[in-house]
Structure formats: C-alpha cells, structure tokens
A and B are shown apart, each in its own frame.
Chain A
Amino acid sequence: MEHAINADRFTADAERTGWHDQALWFVRVKRDRMANALPEWEALRTRAAAIKAYVNANLAELLERFETQAQARGIVVHWAETAEDHNRIVLDLLRSRGVTRVVKSKSMLTEECHLNPYLEKHGIEVVDTDLGERIVQLRKEPPSHIVLPAIHLKKEEVGETFREHLGTEPGASDPQYLTEAARGHLREKFLAAQAGITGVNFAIAETGGFVVCTNEGNADLGVSLPPIHIACMGIEKLLPRLEDLGVFTRLLARSATGQPVTTYTSHFHAPRPGCELHVVLVDAGRSEIAANPAYREALNCIRCGACMNTCPVYRRSGGFSYESTVPGPIGSVLGPLREPKKYHSLPYACTLCGSCTDVCPVRIPLHHQLLSFRQTLAEKKLIPWTKRVGMRLTGKMLGSGWAYRLTGRLARWWVPKLPRFLVYSRLNAWGKQRELPPMPKRSFRELYRIEPPDDRRR
C-alpha cells in the first residue's frame, strides 16, 4: 500500500478534507482545555511513561501475577500467541456453550485480529455495540479512527445507512433521532445476546481484575445481561498496581475526547454469581516489540487517539489512507513493526512536526520513532529505489563542500532558464500543488562575503 496514493483519493474532495480536519481539530482543542486545567499534567504524563517503562521491562512477572490473582477470583485466563489463536479460543468458548448471538463493545484488539469475520464465518452473529462501530459495521467498513470510528462520515450518510438497515425516515439526519433509533435497535441485541465480548483498557497485576472505559455504557450492558463475558486484551495493557489507575484514568479521557473522565469506568474482578468471566491474553507480535529497544515504547500506547486528532497528515488524509487497524502516528509505528513490507510508506506520512509526541499521554517519542523507521526501512531496502538512490546522491552532495557549492551554483543558473513543464514535472515532488520560491541570484555565502555583518549598524 502507498499512503500518498490513498491520501490523494481522500483529498480529491477538498470540502470534505477541510471538514474532517476541523472535526478532529475540535477534539484536539477540547483536549488542550482539559490538559491546561491541570497543573500536574506534565508530571502525570511522566509518571505514566515511567509506569509503562516498568511494565515493558517486567511484563512476564506481571502477567504471571495477574493470572494467579485472576484465577483466585474465579476468572478463567487464556493465552494466545497469535491473532489466529485468539480467534480460535473465543470461537471454542462460544461454540462449546452453544452461543450464536454475541454483542461486542469496542476493542481495537479484536479489530486487529479480525475476530468479527472469523466468528461470522462460523455462524455466530457479532453485533458491535459502540454507536460509531455499529455504523461502520452496517456499512461493512473498518473504523477510521480508534476512538471516533465513524468520524469520516457525515450525518446524512449515517442517516442513509440507518434508513437501509434500521428503517429510519428517508432523509433523516438529526444525530439525536439517529442515536435514538440505534438505541432501540441495539437494546434488542443486548437483551437477546448469549455472550458479551469486550476489550480491556487496563488490567491490574496486583488485583487480577481489569477496567473497561466507555461513554455510552455499551460494554456494561453487553456483559451484565448474558451469562458469559469474554474480555480480550493485548499483553501490554497491564498495570502493576490498583493505584496506578489513578494516573491513567486521569489521562485517558482528557487526552481522548477532552472529558474529565470516561462516563463509565468499570472494574471487573470476578464473574457475576453463576456466570463466567474469561480473559484472553494476546501476544500477536507484542513480545517482539518489547524486545526491540528502539521501539518498545510503542507498547505504552493506551489507544486514546490524541496523536491522530493533532496530526496534520491524519486530519487531512483520513483514517482509511493508512489501511491499518490503528491509523495515524502510532499506527505508522505499529504497522511497519508488524509488517514492514506492507506498511513501508507510513513512516513517510509524517511531517516530523512533533505534535503527536507533545500530546501523547504516555510520552511515546512518536516522531523520533517515525524518523528512525525511515532509516530502518531504507537499510532493509523497503523504500522505492528512486528515493534510495536520490537520498544516497543527496547525502554525498551535502557531505562535500565543493559538490554542494557547485550544485547550488548550477541550480541558481539553470533552474530559472528551464521551461515550466520541466521544473514542475512528475520528478519534482516539491513542485506538486505549490509554487517553488524564486531562485536567489546569490548564495548565502556570497552575500556574506559582499556584506559582512556590521556590529556598528546593530
């Protein structure tokens, strides 16, 4: 996949691009308001990063501790090495209990594992219950954002989807009316479900329990009615102690949507009486990231989406342009870590402006990782040969005084004489969609020699 080609498709509709950009910027501004209201904000981020560093360094012990504690509370713990193992474990659990109707709350892990199509293939109905996820599920689309799954859609498009699937009034697009329709439709699904699947925001090694955060209450409804709750989590979601939740619950919603805390922050520590509670611990490449000193901080991610909301590239290219379950800056690190061949273009979907690093609540050095990934990919020869050769020649030129001066002189002399169609040809990406500045007559060096700095004039 090539991010730039996908982005071209999105930006072809300039009005929609502007609308998408503004919708996400609005969320970023809300985040700023919340962050600025807390004097300890930066100290919280530092603390969160330090806790995550400890987790990444001691993951094996913490997982064992979590398992022991969870089992003591009657939670059944399963281990999955790969996405396929995860899907098989979930299917076996459902099948052996005769379950055919499942409700699921938002879980980027099950998206990553493609659990829905797998279960559907085996005759199980899976209903995504987060409103945004239900919208994209009905449209047979993936989510375009990890917190705002339907941020790419206008309300008229949602209205049309609901008319087709839920029988709402033709042309209706009022969010209140559409949400009400979804509420009615999903209540039926909640009440009919035989099992509920959730993701996990945080698991606590000390207590053997876990926390699920939502604003809609869909996770809680989905697991408080049927007798079986299956929670699927990446192994990096662990926190050492209950008190660490104080730090993370304060950071998550403020960073994600600019709320002081999520509406529902639910702690699950045992099955309901007579019911079952299962946790599936999934590796799927995470232990490899933990072993990679250059990128292991990517495991800090708490999936708040702040880096997407602030990213000038994400806001103007849309989530689908990344073709990855997690898009945006963090997705541009996680994608190529998993599949460097497929996602080689994502580290280039970045202006290196550093805004993502500034807002990340767990201090992942995102833009540094993206920059260093470009080097890694070049070393692995996973970037186009034109870029590789171009970079090598440019490097040589910039590394040698005389070559640099000669190139500058030639460019200043030649470029103004070249016909427009040559300067703005396909070979010159810098001339795309913008006018180049006029070539100066003299280099800085020459100007400096003619007019040296004069202390008296200052």
Chain B
Amino acid sequence: MTDDARRRILERLKRVRRADVPLPGELPETIVFDDPRAKFAEMLRLVGGTPLDVADRDAARAMLAELPVVRQAKQIVSYVPDLVPGTPELDTADDPHALAGADLAVCPAEFWVAENGAVWVTDRQIGQRVSLFLAQHLILIVPGSQWAMQMHDAYRRIGSIDRPFGGFISGPSKTADIEQSLVIGAHGARSLHVVRIG
C-alpha cells in the first residue's frame, strides 16, 4: 500500500514541478547585539530561566554546591560528574523510566544563542536524553566561549547533524493553556539554570 501511495504521490507532484523557482540567495542582514553575553542573560531571564556566569570549573563546582536545587535534590542524574556528583544508579541507567524520580538533571550543552536565551544540547554526552525533560529541575553547563548571535549563526555552527537527538532549550517548561496565564513547569523541568563557564 505504501509503495503504491508513494508512486502516486510523487507522480502527481512531478507533474506540477516548476524548475524556474530558485532557492533564495544570501541571507538578509541580521541583528547584531553589542553585548551578546548580556543579551543572552536578559533573554534567558525573560523566558523564565536563570543565567549563571563563572570563571572556571572550580568556581562552577563551588557555586553549584550552594545552589538550592542542588542542595535539595535527593536523586540527581548528572552527566557532568566533576561538577555535580550524581546518584550512581541513575547516571548509568539503561531504562529511561529509571529516571522517573530524578529531582535534578545536570547536563552538558554545546553553545548558547544570544538572541533568544536558547542553549544547543545533543545526546552526545547524555546517557538518557529523557533526563532533559523528566527531571524536576535542570542545570545546563555550557562553555562561555561557544556561542551564536542568532539562529542563522546557530545552524551554521551546527553544520551537520550526526546525533539521533539535538535540541534548543530556552527556559524551563511552560504553558499558558489555561486562560493565557503563564505557568512555569508544565511537564518538563520546573526550573532551568544555565551555567556558562569562562
């Protein structure tokens, strides 16, 4: 059935193919922020997240140890164990359902985007990608030197995708489905801290 459908759909579409419609050329000039670091922090706050900037990993370790979401967490899944030690059976879980009780996930991210407070995360160093969405709270650790001005820049950085999963995360989970009232913590993380190191 699916083979016949494929053939018929493609046949119909080939009949109306137009070779004279080109792809657009150069990108339009895009906005440039004088202080991209500050813009990211401003946008992340706007979408309900908390930006944290530290000089190096030692400073990050000390600062994270004091953070209430870390101190209060009983079960932690951590893919950045040198900064926040995780609960061992969670970090190596084969079944994503094992993370159901995770209070906190600490995950590495690849770069940040100034225009919208988003952070690009892939499953390269994340054992269970569900940790990004299932844990009650989320901390993302990103190198301060790795960033993009806006999304065009971001996709240029990504270049090509070689991982099953990659995503931009901009703030904690949210909804406004009941009378347009913003509620933070719909299904995913109730809070998001983005720690930029360096």
Residues of A within 8 A of B (CB): 23, 26-27, 38-40, 43-44, 46-47, 50-51, 53-54, 56-61, 63-64, 78-81, 85, 88-89, 129-132, 135, 148-151, 153-155, 158, 175-176, 178-180, 182-183, 186-187, 190-191, 207, 209, 215-218, 220-221, 224-225, 235, 240, 242-243, 245-247, 249-250, 257, 259-273, 281, 283, 287-288, 290-291
Residues of B155-198 contacting chain A, CB below 8 A: 155-156, 158-181, 183, 185-189
CB pair A269 B164 closer than 8 Å: yes
CB pair A272 B129 closer than 8 Å: yes
Known interface pairs A179-B183, A183-B187, A220-B167; A250-B151 also in contact (CB < 8 Å) = yes
Give the distance to chain A from B140, nearest Cβ to Cβ, in Å.
13
- B22 CB within 8 Å of chain A: yes
6 tightest A-B CB contacts, nearest first: A217-B188, A43-B28, A132-B177, A260-B116, A224-B130, A246-B152
CB pair A224 B16 closer than 8 Å: no
- B35 CB within 8 Å of chain A: no
- B21 CB within 8 Å of chain A: yes
Give the distance to chain A from B112, nearest Cβ to Cβ, in Å.
12
CB pair B10 A246 closer than 8 Å: no
Give the distance to chain B from A271, nearest Cβ to Cβ, in Å.
7
CB pair A224 B133 closer than 8 Å: yes
CB pair A183 B151 closer than 8 Å: no
- B109 CB within 8 Å of chain A: no
Q: Complex Cα distance A200/B118, Å? A: 20
CB pair A242 B180 closer than 8 Å: no
Q: Which residue of B lies closest to A64 (CB)?
A: B10
Looking at B1-9, B54-62, B72-80, the stretch in contact with chain A turns out to be B1-9
Residues of A within 8 A of B167 (CB): 220, 264-267
CB pair B28 A44 closer than 8 Å: yes
Residues of B within 8 A of A179 (CB): 175, 177-178, 183, 185-186
CB pair B158 A60 closer than 8 Å: no
Residues of A within 8 A of B43 (CB): 260
Residues of A within 8 A of B113 (CB): 261
Q: Complex Cα distance A40/B28, Å? A: 7
CB pair A264 B2 closer than 8 Å: no
- B115 CB within 8 Å of chain A: yes
8 sampled A-B residue pairs with Cβ under 8 A: A39-B31, A63-B9, A135-B178, A148-B177, A216-B175, A261-B113, A264-B133, A291-B15
Q: Complex Cα distance A56/B129, Å? A: 34
Contact with A along B72-100 (1 / 0, CB 8 A): 00000000000000000000000011001
Known interface pairs A47-B24, A63-B13, A224-B134; A264-B164 also in contact (CB < 8 Å) = no
- B150 CB within 8 Å of chain A: yes
Known interface pairs A79-B5, A191-B100, A260-B115; A183-B186 also in contact (CB < 8 Å) = yes
Known interface pairs A23-B179, A176-B183, A269-B165; A260-B17 also in contact (CB < 8 Å) = no
Told that A175-B183, A187-B187, A215-B174 touch, could you supply 7 new A-B pairs with CB distance under 8 A? A218-B187, A224-B130, A224-B134, A247-B151, A261-B168, A267-B165, A281-B9
CB pair A81 B9 closer than 8 Å: yes
CB pair B14 A175 closer than 8 Å: no
CB pair A268 B165 closer than 8 Å: yes
Q: Which residue of B lies closest to A67 (CB)?
A: B6
Known interface pairs A63-B10, A264-B167, A291-B15; A224-B186 also in contact (CB < 8 Å) = no
Known interface pairs A158-B178, A257-B176, A260-B43; A217-B187 also in contact (CB < 8 Å) = yes
CB pair A59 B186 closer than 8 Å: no
Give the distance to chain B from A214, nearest Cβ to Cβ, in Å.
9
Contact with A along B95-128 (1 / 0, CB 8 A): 0110010000000000001011110000000001
Partner of B160, one of A43, A60, A207: A207
Residues of A within 8 A of B64 (CB): none
CB pair B179 A155 closer than 8 Å: yes
Contact with A along B41-62 (1 / 0, CB 8 A): 0010011000000000000000
CB pair A209 B161 closer than 8 Å: yes
- B67 CB within 8 Å of chain A: no
Partner of B170, one of A51, A262, A272: A262
Residues of A within 8 A of B163 (CB): 269-270
Give the distance to chain B from A228, nearest Cβ to Cβ, in Å.
13
Residues of B within 8 A of A50 (CB): 23-24
CB pair B5 A80 closer than 8 Å: yes
Give the distance to chain A from B83, nearest Cβ to Cβ, in Å.
23
Q: Complex Cα distance A80/B15, Å? A: 19
CB pair A149 B164 closer than 8 Å: no
CB pair A242 B158 closer than 8 Å: yes
Give the distance to chain A from B48, nearest Cβ to Cβ, in Å.
9
Q: Complex Cα distance A270/B129, Å? A: 13
Known interface pairs A187-B187, A221-B188, A287-B12; A149-B177 also in contact (CB < 8 Å) = yes
CB pair A57 B9 closer than 8 Å: no
Residues of A within 8 A of B24 (CB): 46-47, 50-51, 54
CB pair B13 A217 closer than 8 Å: no
Residues of B within 8 A of A273 (CB): 164
Residues of B within 8 A of A51 (CB): 23-24
